[in-house]
Chains A and B, each alone.
Chain A
Amino acid sequence: MTEDRPIPRCKAGIGLRSQHATEIAAARPKLGFLEVHAENYMAETVALDRLLELRRDYEVSLHGVALSLGSAEQLDRSHLGRFKTLIDRIEPVLVSEHLAWSAIGGAFLNDLLPFPYNEESLDLFCRHVEEAQEALGRQLLIENPSSYLRYRHSSMPEVEFLTEVVRQTGCGVLCDVNNIYVSAKNFGFDPIAYLDTLPVEAIGEIHLAGHHAAKDVDILIDDHGSRVAKPVWDLHAAALRRFGPVPTLIEWDTNLPALEILLDEARHAQELADVYRYVDTA
């Protein structure tokens, strides 16, 4: 299955948070890449200067969190323009966005909100992905969201929807293994079956992160606020077996730990990938 393409060496990276930037600049730890939220660097600021400085020594991946590709309105052309300007400055190794929406009617809600999966939304989402790829001048990876509700209007499962988006637009997939685990627990589907449905050749990156159990209800919440949980590492192993060692990111956005802990998680991801590099994926 993977004979036609060279198996890429896994490169494990971490999400760059401003609190760690100075330490990383000083210590230059060995990392496959750094990933940043694109929206934090769209102005001519000191933060952008620091990122450009780090870019000399690291590959950088741009992770968009606000393009709102699932919005039932026009894409925000000015935001797309700012994204393109940033891409031209950074020359990122990967650019990704989400299977979600976050803005409507002029209000940005700062969350990756779900929409129903049906013919209407598929048509709209594919149009927006095509428009974004055209404007940004490159392929986008689309990330599967963590999910806490399902609409009565949905007529197909999320993974089928995402696979169809890949087929129609030529985008890639950012496979968030923690999100699959969280959603599978929340809705009682089989996470392995989800992985098995994703198109192998489209997987461009994997995300790993922590989650927690909600207090009063039987729901897992994806919060990027702790170490990757054991069952998520197990699911990640299954993903590596199927996809090969794709670039893998440790995300940590709340309750930020010492940099050393992030590096430790990234090391573990790299070790796992090194093991699965020698496993027959056919």
Chain B
Amino acid sequence: MRKSSPMSTDMSTLLELQMQLRRAVLGGDAAEIVAAIHGDGLDPAARVGIYRNHAFATLGASLQDTFPVICRLVDKRFFAYVAHEYLREHPPHSRCLVEYGADFANFLADFEPSKALPYLADVARFEWALNIAASMRDTAPLPPRALAEVPANEAAYVAFRLQPSLIYLTSPWPIDAIWQANQENEVSAVDLASGGARLEIRRADDGVAWRRLDAATFAFRTALADGLVLAAAMAGATLQDPAFDVTAAVQHLFAEGLVVAYCLSSER
């Protein structure tokens, strides 16, 4: 083992220096770190600025890649401002940048300057879901005939494991229509009063696909995705629609290739 170095007495320790540079890079006070570096013919603050600019530029670009429609909805300059505030308060924890931005939607929801766009946070949730779903690999689905192996008296207590890329998202705003309208050069008008959307998002082909679900199917599939057994999922769906046809609903799940495994409650 190495012996540890004695603490410096007249100068900041390494940890203190790094906390000082962290503060400056995240847009905070730079006075302490500036005092610790050589000018070398330049204002030391400008040297620190190079690192701060790099951090904001690359992390901001990462957010912009993940949330292009948000960027379009609020325009580039406002997005840069939002991203700046978000980075200051929520710098990445994960060392993997693709995992940065999971709580950006929550941040937007509480961001006072964009309160005039109440749908913004939900559109961000939708964009995050599109990114996640697109990155997940598909698993081979169970064929519909797998159902025949479930004993009839246990069918109510079967739990399904669904495709890992599946994400269910609901919003009081037409977030899918807003997203779609912003894929074109000319943004067409979206009727915000047209109501909300219950969305199923999944990886498909070499990209991502989504569709709207009716209230009962959404309740049914969300419950299954959460690991509830068939009887419980059916109960939730029937509350939405007393005529909900559970047999047809299960057949559709299999036909769409969404079920990758199931287990009986007796096996749990």
Where the two chains meet, the residues of A that have a C-beta atom closer than 8 Å to any C-beta of B are: 39-40, 42-47, 49, 66-68, 71-73, 76, 79, 82, 101-111, 113, 115-116, 119-121, 123-124, 126-127, 148-153, 186-188, 214, 217-219, 221
Residue of A nearest to B59 (CB): A110
In whole angstroms, what is the CA distance A132 to B21 when docked?
A: 24
Docked-complex contact A109 and B22, CB < 8 angstroms: yes
In the complex, how many angstroms separate the beta carbon of A55 from the nearest chain B beta carbon? 16
Docked-complex contact A150 and B40, CB < 8 angstroms: yes
Residue of B nearest to A150 (CB): B38
Given A109-B26, A111-B55, is A116 in contact with B98 using a C-beta cutoff of 8 Å?
no
Docked-complex contact A107 and B26, CB < 8 angstroms: yes
For the residues of A in contact with B, the DSSP-based class is mixed
Of B40, B50, B58, the contact of A221 (CB 8 Å cutoff): B50
User: Contact size class for B?
Assistant: 35 or more
Interface residues of B in 2-21 (CB under 8 A from A): 2, 4-5, 8, 11-15, 17-19, 21
Q: Residue B134 at the A interface, CB < 8 A?
A: yes
List, in ascending order, chain A residues with CB within 8 A of B47's CB: 148-149
List, in ascending order, chain A residues with CB within 8 A of B38's CB: 149-152
List, in ascending order, chain A residues with CB within 8 A of B98's CB: 40, 43
Docked-complex contact B48 and A110, CB < 8 angstroms: no
In the complex, how many angstroms separate the beta carbon of A217 from the nearest chain B beta carbon? 6
Docked-complex contact B17 and A153, CB < 8 angstroms: yes
Docked-complex contact A115 and B93, CB < 8 angstroms: no
In the complex, how many angstroms separate the beta carbon of B166 from the nearest chain A beta carbon? 15
Docked-complex contact B5 and A123, CB < 8 angstroms: yes
In whole angstroms, what is the CA distance A43 to B136 when docked?
A: 9
Of A111, A123, A186, A187, the contact of B58 (CB 8 Å cutoff): A111
Docked-complex contact A107 and B5, CB < 8 angstroms: no
Q: 17 A–B contact pairs at CB < 8 A?
A: A39-B95, A39-B97, A40-B96, A46-B137, A103-B95, A105-B22, A108-B95, A109-B26, A109-B55, A111-B58, A116-B14, A119-B5, A123-B4, A149-B44, A149-B47, A151-B38, A217-B42
In the complex, how many angstroms separate the beta carbon of A228 from the nearest chain B beta carbon? 20
Of B5, B36, B91, B95, the contact of A153 (CB 8 Å cutoff): B36
List, in ascending order, chain A residues with CB within 8 A of B96's CB: 39-40, 42-43, 66, 82
Docked-complex contact A110 and B17, CB < 8 angstroms: no
Given A46-B137, A116-B17, A151-B17, is A107 in contact with B22 using a C-beta cutoff of 8 Å?
yes
Residue of B nearest to A125 (CB): B14
In whole angstroms, what is the CA distance A262 to B13 when docked?
A: 43
Docked-complex contact A108 and B13, CB < 8 angstroms: no
The 5 A-B residue pairs with the shortest CB-CB distance, nearest first, are A66-B95, A72-B15, A107-B91, A72-B14, A149-B47
In whole angstroms, what is the CA distance A39 to B40 when docked?
A: 34
Residue of B nearest to A127 (CB): B2
Of A66, A104, A150, the contact of B18 (CB 8 Å cutoff): A104
With most chain B CB atoms within 10 A of its CB, the pick from A71, A110, A127, A218 is: A110
List, in ascending order, chain B residues with CB within 8 A of A76's CB: 95
List, in ascending order, chain B residues with CB within 8 A of A39's CB: 95-97
In the complex, how many angstroms separate the beta carbon of B225 from the nearest chain A beta carbon? 18
In whole angstroms, what is the CA distance A47 to B21 when docked?
A: 33
Docked-complex contact B37 and A46, CB < 8 angstroms: no
